[in-house]
Amino acid sequence: MKHLDYDLKPIDLSLSGLREVQELMKLSFSGDAPSVEVLQWQYNENPLGPAIGYNAYCGTDLVGHYVTIPTQAMIKGEFKKGLLSLNTATHPSHQKKGLFSQLANLTYDKGKNTGFDFVVGVANHNSVYGFTKKLGFQHVGLLETRLFLRTPFLKKMDLDFSIVWNTDFLNWRLAKPGCKYFYRFQDTHLELYVKHIKAKVKILIQNLDWHNKTLPDRVNPMPAMGNPFKYWIGHEPRA
């Protein structure tokens, strides 16, 4: 598809295509970009399916990228297949030309046509306007940051939205390259933590009702911590 001076194409999931995306992200974010190994994990190893997205080319140069990855959730009591809005990048010389909206809408159309029911995302402060005003996202609320000595007991409740974690999906989530994960059981729930290398703390990432199911060997029991505090950022630990 042509858009002004750009060719818009489905993302290339090959190793060379991932390297191309990484280079664009480095240019877009002052050198800060996921490794190719992380992109491979995100885009190709998800047990729910490969990434869905679009690239923008100016000639042979990749100048725009938008991608989603499959997820699954219970929404008001119904099981739904959906997409998680993940990575977006636009070359500094090609920003403010409508590429983000065009690539996102093509992605959503493809997702809808291949059986996905919703798109969910976590936008930073700079992106909220674009997602809500240009792409029609509902603004659910701001993420909370919490610091505590003991994880609050979570009363059983019906959530309007919660991710469905089966064994394969959770094992994939805990296989992100370069991350160290830990677990411990509290009351009837499984707490999962990731180690923050720079801050040297453990961050709570999930609190699940997870009984009699195995975790991958790479996930270790929670060690005793010199820092007694635990950190969490999100909207609801079970969502």
CB atoms < 10 A from the CB of 223, how many? 10
* Residue 236 neighbours by CB under 8 Å, 6+ apart: 159, 162
Residues 22, 3: Cα–Cα separation, whole Å? 23
The tokens describing 69, both together, are 């990855």
Model pLDDT, residue 157: 64
Where do the DSSP E strands lie in 77-176?
78-90, 118-120, 144-148, 161-163
Model pLDDT, residue 58: 95
Q: Which helix (H) or strand (E) holds 234?
A: strand 230-234
**Helices 36-44 and 15-28: angle between axes, nearest 10 degrees:** 120
Model pLDDT, residue 139: 81
Q: H helices then E strands: how many in the chain?
A: 5, 13
Q: Is 2-134 CATH 3.30.360.10?
A: no
Residue found under tokens 């679009």: 54
Residues 52, 69: Cα–Cα separation, whole Å? 6
Model pLDDT, residue 93: 94
Low-confidence ranges of the chain (pLDDT < 70): 1-4, 147-157, 187-188, 196-202, 204, 211-213, 225-239
pLDDT digits (tens, 9 = 90+) for 149-197: 666 555 566 778 889 999 899 999 999 999 888 888 876 678 888 876 6
CB atoms < 10 A from the CB of 64, how many? 26
Model pLDDT, residue 199: 54
Residues 194, 70: Cα–Cα separation, whole Å? 22
Per DSSP, the three-state class of 212 is coil
Residues 18, 45: Cα–Cα separation, whole Å? 13
* Residue 50 neighbours by CB under 8 Å, 6+ apart: 13, 43, 44, 70
Q: CATH 3.40.630.30 in the chain, residues?
A: 2-134
Strands 181-186 and 220-221: parallel
Strands 201-208 and 230-234: parallel
Model pLDDT, residue 239: 44
DSSP state for residue 151 in the 8-state scheme: P
Residue found under tokens 């923050």: 196
Residues 197, 34: Cα–Cα separation, whole Å? 16
Q: What is the DSSP string of 77-104?
A: TEEEEEEEEEEEEE-GGG-SSSHHHHHH
- Tell me the whole-structure pTM to 2 decimals: 0.87
